[in-house]
Chains A and B, each alone.
Chain A
């Protein structure tokens, strides 16, 4: 158990809908990272938040957004969903901000868009 929690575990929705994925980092970790994992592309970095502020942006679509709250939990919002958004979404946390060190991953949310 990494100490990172994610909810829900599974999510099934329809095209065009909007969903919110939630992540709670390990105690003491200030950084939260979001990743998308699909069968053909592997783990792709989406976005990083550090202590409530956006720190780095990767391959995140404009239809997706995230935020980190004062209690350091984070939410990833996915809107206008398309079939291709079906994937595993992982959240990871680490102590560091600028220096990307060991990241500890949650169990993931499996999103299925029908």
Chain B
């Protein structure tokens, strides 16, 4: 069964304290990995798509990387406004394509 596991479940950082979030997956044939940010009570907001091992994408303080079994979302010098839940999803093909989401990492950045 296709599975996506995110760790840690929750992370508390001080402003400026860099860290990484992990997304590991067991899928039969990865066809893309997606990162989303979700603020409380709102819909997920698209951040990145990664397609192959070794690929990296950057946006402001965020950098996403991909290996054959996992992806990392690195947050450099975070600010309080980076506080959100970060969701990882993999695109799988089970007769049709769909996204399988992890349960997310809740990030809180304190000033």
Contacts and interface: CB of A to CB of B under 8 A. Distances in A.
Interface string B77-101: 0000000000101010000111111
Determine the main DSSP class of B at the interface with A: strand
Contacts of A41: 103
A57 B104 CA distance: 23
A100 interface: yes
| Size bracket of the B interface | 20 to 34
Contacts of B32: 100-101
Contact of A107 (B34, B43, B87, B89): B43
Interface in A1-48: 2, 4, 41-45, 48
A105 to B, nearest CB: 3
A47 B104 CA distance: 21
Given A43-B87, A100-B91, A105 B45 contact: yes
A108 B101 contact: no
Interface string A89-111: 01010000011111111111010
A42 B97 contact: no
Interface in B13-48: 32, 34, 36, 41-46
Pairs of residues from A and B, 7 with the lowest C-beta to C-beta distance, nearest first: A105-B43, A56-B96, A43-B101, A42-B103, A100-B97, A105-B44, A45-B98
Given A48-B98, A100-B91, A107-B42, 9 more contacts: A41-B103, A43-B101, A45-B98, A57-B96, A90-B44, A100-B99, A102-B46, A103-B99, A108-B43
